[in-house]
Amino acid sequence: MTQKEAACGWTTEEMMKRVVRFDDLMGCTAAFIDAKTPGSHLKENFSIIGAGVSENPAQHVHITEPHGFTFGGARQPPFIKNSLHSHETAETFWVHSSKWRFYWGLNGTDGEAVLEPGDFISLPTYLFRGFENVGEVKGMLLGYLGSDNPGKVTWAPQVLEAARGHGLVLLSDGRLIDTTIGETVPEGAQETQPLTPAQLEKFKKLTAEEMEPFIIRLSDIKERSGITDENVWPGFAERIYPLAGPYYPIKGQCQGGDDWYFNFNLVAVKGGPNQGSPLYCRDVPEVFNPFDGTWQFSWLDAGKEHSLVLKAGDTFTCPVGVYRSFKNIGSEEAVMYVIVGGDVPAPARLTQEQTATLT
């Protein structure tokens, strides 16, 4: 390792500011227009990296540094729904806990799929979708949206109409007005109007069979072999399973196209006890989210090794250009989701010593 590689300037204290513990997540119970609609009124929304598409300026954002994508979550009691809506950029989810039913179409009747912990779904743009916790305990979804500014949520017309009956009004600039607490529509502001039949025609209509390529089960991840992309994942590509993004095919179908916007690629890393990565760095953001197990991350600061530990549901965003390594320090095989910024992920750069061991 060269002196430049060793002197990264990141102390443990500074690096811990880039960790969000699952137990420390701060949610918002009034992030969206359906916050008071019966059946959707008990959900919490989280902005972990970037503000995402929250309609409430009071939403707490844990990490504000732009990454080119945003990351957040939803926590809901059993049989509480997230109302039918659509996004302008790609939206992907993995199930942290409980069992979830995803459904889609203007009325939510075009198709549905039930996902369990560790399962993954990537939802196309311009497709009305909703999701409901159908398990027996309060559950959590964690998900990514393309772009630092994913645009505004487009709600199915019936969602806006129901919300108005409970005192909530959505402005055309994305702000949420709660008339039940004395808020009023500012002078000159325009309210969001329900989409017309002609506008609704542009939204996708997919059957359950057509959606199946965009769903990956945890069993798929654990049973299938990895990829062979040693340029992006040198030394450990055999334990990488691609999930979503324009760079990797998903079940033989590339997730991209003119009307999808990712600016990220998402993979799952599988690791048995003490398995992990060599020391490497990237010139783009890279975010780590363990699904299960215990993972140790190490890096060097002026020749001294530092480390931190992540557990299920934690988030760590590694600084660009820092040489890092990770490994599963648990006693069983574990899975971690890793998101790399950019439509084409920057190659990993190894230290001189690591390069020598792989050649």
Where in the sequence is the domain holding 232, given as residue range(s)? 3-17+218-358
143 with 229, same domain?
A: no
Closest CA to 284 of 349, 239, 337, 335: 349
247 with 205, same domain?
A: no
31 with 96, same domain?
A: yes
Per-residue pLDDT of the chain (359 residues; tens, 9 = 90+): 443 444 467 999 999 999 999 999 999 999 999 999 999 999 999 999 999 999 988 899 999 999 999 999 999 999 999 999 999 999 999 999 999 999 999 999 999 999 999 999 999 999 999 999 999 999 999 999 999 999 899 999 999 999 999 999 999 988 899 999 999 999 889 999 999 999 999 999 999 999 998 999 999 998 887 887 888 988 888 899 999 988 876 654 545 556 778 999 999 999 999 999 999 999 999 999 999 999 999 998 777 889 999 999 999 999 999 999 999 999 999 999 999 999 998 899 987 776 666 65
146 with 269, same domain?
A: no
286 Cα distance to chain centroid: 12
Strands 61-63, 44-49: pairing kind: parallel
48 with 188, same domain?
A: yes
pTM of the complete model: 0.92
190 with 240, same domain?
A: no
239 with 200, same domain?
A: no
176 with 30, same domain?
A: yes
| Widest CA span in the chain | 68
185 with 140, same domain?
A: yes
d(CA 71, CA 86): 17
314-326 residues labelled b (16+ CB within 10 A) or e (exposed) = bbbbbbeebbbbb
Whose tokens are 């002026």? That residue is 302
192 with 245, same domain?
A: no
**What is the helix (H) or strand (E) element at residue 354, kind and residue range?**
helix 352-358
Q: Is 153 exposed, middle or buried (0-12, 13-18, 19+ CB in 10 A)?
A: buried
For 55-114, what is each residue's pLDDT tens digit?
988 899 999 999 999 999 999 999 999 999 999 999 999 999 999 999 999 999 999 999
13 with 41, same domain?
A: no
Angle at Cα 28 formed by Cα 71 and Cα 14, nearest 5°?
50
Domain-ending residue, one of 211, 244, 259: 211
Whose tokens are 């060793």? That residue is 6
- Where residue 307 sits, what CATH number does that domain have? 2.60.120.10
d(CA 248, CA 244): 7
Domain-ending residue, one of 186, 211, 236: 211
Whose tokens are 């959590």? That residue is 140
Token output for 121: 């779904």
Q: Are 69 and 122 in contact (CB under 8 A)?
A: no
162 with 245, same domain?
A: no
How many domains are there within the chain? 2
For 331-355, what is each residue's pLDDT tens digit?
999 999 999 999 998 899 987 776 6
Whose tokens are 């230290």? That residue is 351
User: What's the Rg (C-alpha) of the chain?
Assistant: 21
Domain-ending residue, one of 211, 243, 274: 211
